[in-house]
Amino acid sequence: MSDPLSPDLDHRSAADVALGARFRAREADWRQGAVIYQVFVDRFAPSADLAAKEHLYPSPKRLRSWDERPQVGQEVPEAGLWTHELDFWGGDLASVRTRLDHLEALGVEVLYLNPIHVAYTNHKYDAEDYFGVSPEYGTRADVAALADDLHARGMKLVLDGVFNHVGRRAPWFEQARAGASPAQDWFYLGEEFAHGYRAWYDVGNLPELRLEAPSLRARLWGDADSVVQGYLREEGVDGWRLDVAFDLGFRYLSELRAAAHLAKPGSLVVGEVWNYPPEWLAHLDGIFNMTIRELTLALARGQVSGAHFGRATETLVADAGLERLLKCWLILDNHDTPRLATELPEAWQRELAQVLQLTLPGAPQLYYGVEAGMEGGPDPEMRGPMDWERAVPGEPEFDRLRELLAIRRERRALRIGDFVRLDSESLLAFARKTDRVSESVFVIANPSAETVRETLVLRDSKLMSHARLRELRARERVIETTCGLARVELAPREVLLLGVEVPSTHEYSPYKRIQ
C-alpha cells in the first residue's frame, strides 16, 4: 500500500497548483520584495586614500573629518546653492566595496546609490556629465567593479538617475545659453523666467531639462549608448531609481522603462513619486510607497488606529495590485527626510514601524545608518557620516533590525506572499500567505496605550483547529487557535509576529494531505 506521506504523491488541489506557480514566478523576480540598502557615497565609509584625494575638494569646497556632523550653512543666492552643499566627508566607490560584508550579513539584496555622476555639490543632484563618474567617487570602472562584487554575492546594484534637471555648470546648459545646437533645444530659456531659464523649484543651480526634445531623450535613455542603457549594458548595473519621477510624467516614464528593459531585460526602474501609487505603476516597475510611510508614521504617533491602517492598506492593495506593490519601495527615511530615530523618538515606535516595513507587501528600503540608530533632522542633518561604532551586535537598534531581517529571509511569505487583512475593532492585524500553510505569517499590533483583547478570524482554511501560532522573535509567546479563530491579548504598544507550528514528524499529522 502507498504511503500517504510519500513525497511522490501530490495531493494539491488545482487551485493550489495554480497558486504555487504564481508564487514561484514572484520568487524568480529579484525586484519583488527585495531588501534595498541606500548609500550616500560621500558619507558611507571613509576613503582609504583620502590624502591623495584632497586636491579634488578645492575651495570653496570643504573636507570634513568623519566625526563632524552636517550643519546648515549659508545661502549663496548668486550660486543658487548653500554652503553646506559643498561640505564633503570623502567617501568613494572603493570604500563602499570594503563594507559589502556588512550589507551581506544584514541580508541586503540590492544596493542603491545616491547620484554618482560628475557634479559640483556633495549630493550630485546637479549633474554636469551623466556619462562620467564624479572624480571624488572614482570612475566608471569602479562602478563596474562594484557591480561585479555585488553580483558575486548574489546582490544587485541600482543607480540614481536625475533626468529632470542638471547643474548650472553642465556643458549642455552652457552650450544652450550660447545658442549651440542641439543643446539650445534642451532647456527652457527666456526672459519670462526669473533666472533667464526654468529651474527646478526655482533653484538657480538646477536648470530644468526640456524633455520634449527628442534628441535629448535619445541621449538620456533612447540610444543604445545613452545614459540609462549605457550603464546597464557596459557597467552591469541592474536598475535605475528616478529622481523626481513625478516631474517626468507618464509618457516619458514609460519610454524610459522600455529603453531600460530593452538594454537589460528584468532590470528595475523605480520612481521617486510621493503620490498615491496605482496609476504610476502602469508606467514604472515600482515607485516609492510614501503613502504607506505616512500611514506608518501616523500609526506610531497615535494619529490613526490600527484598524484604520489595515483597511487603508487593503484598499491600496486592491487599487494598485499586489504584483505591482511588491516592487514598490517601502521607505521610512532617506536622504530627503528626517531620520527614523528623529521622526520616532520612542523605541516602541521604531519597532512598530520597522516590523511593518519588513512585513507589508513591497521592497523595504533601509537608509544607511538606520541599523546604528543614527539621528538627523532636515537637510543636511539626515546626511551625516555613517556611525560604524554603533552598527554592531549588542546595540539595540542593530539587534532589532538584524532579527527582523533574519525573520524576513526565513519566511518566504514576507517577501512574496499575498496580503490578507484580519478584521479587528482596534488592532492592526493581517496575514502574509502563500500556497503553503507552514509559510503563513500573522502580524498583530496594538499601537494604543491600553491592553486589548479580541478574537480574530485568521482567514486561513488550511490552518487546522487547535493549531498553535508561535512568536517568531526570541520570545516564548504561543497562541492557541480554534476553528480558525485566535483569542489574543496584547499589552500596550505590543507587536506580534506569529508563524504556524506544523508538526514535522512521520507520526500522525492533520496536514498530511494539506500543503
Q: Which of 272, 333, 454, 494 is catalytic?
A: 272
- The answer to whether 31-51+91-164+211-413 and 165-210 have equal CATH topology is no
**In this predicted structure, what is the pLDDT of residue 1?**
35
Residue 31: pLDDT band (50, 70, 90) is very high
142 is catalytic: no
Q: Is CATH 3.90.1150.10 the classification given to domain 31-51+91-164+211-413?
A: no
- Contact criterion met (CB below 8 Å) for 120 and 170: no
Closest CA to 98 of 157, 160, 44: 44
| Least confident window among 18-27, 133-142, 259-268, 497-506 | 497-506
**In this predicted structure, what is the pLDDT of residue 2?**
42
Cell output for 482: 480554534
Model pLDDT for residues 148-182, shown as the tens digit of each residue? 999 999 999 999 999 999 999 999 999 999 999 89
pLDDT higher than 80, residue 263: yes
pLDDT higher than 50, residue 481: yes
Residue 355: pLDDT band (50, 70, 90) is very high
Model pLDDT for residues 456-467, shown as the tens digit of each residue? 999 999 999 999
Q: Which of 92, 235, 243, 285 is catalytic?
A: 243
| Least confident window among 3-7, 251-255, 404-408 | 3-7
User: Average pLDDT, stretch 228-247?
Assistant: 98
Closest CA to 429 of 348, 318, 308: 308
**In this predicted structure, what is the pLDDT of residue 8?**
52
pLDDT higher than 80, residue 143: yes
DSSP 73-128: --EETTTTEEGGGGEE----HHHHHTTHHHHHHHT--EEEE---EEESSSS--SEE
For the chain, domain boundaries:
14-21+416-500, 31-51+91-164+211-413, 165-210
pLDDT higher than 70, residue 5: no
Q: Report the topology of domain 14-21+416-500.
A: Immunoglobulin-like (2.60.40)
| Least confident window among 78-82, 104-108, 198-202 | 78-82
**369: Cβ–Cβ under 8 A, 6 or more apart, which residues?**
339, 384, 386, 387, 391
pLDDT higher than 60, residue 292: yes
From 3.90.330.10, 3.30.1490.20, 3.50.50.60, 3.90.400.10, which CATH number describes the 165-210 domain?
A: 3.90.400.10
Q: What is the mean pLDDT of the chain?
A: 95
pLDDT higher than 70, residue 395: yes
243 is catalytic: yes
What pTM, to 2 d.p., does this model score?
A: 0.96
DSSP 341-401: HHH--SHHHHHHHHHHHHHSSSEEEEETTGGGT----TTTGGGPPP-GGGSSTTSHHHHHH
User: Average pLDDT, stretch 50-69?
Assistant: 95
CA distances, 286 to each of 270, 368, 432 (Å): 5, 21, 20
Residue 218: pLDDT band (50, 70, 90) is very high
CA distances, 376 to each of 365, 372, 382 (Å): 18, 12, 4
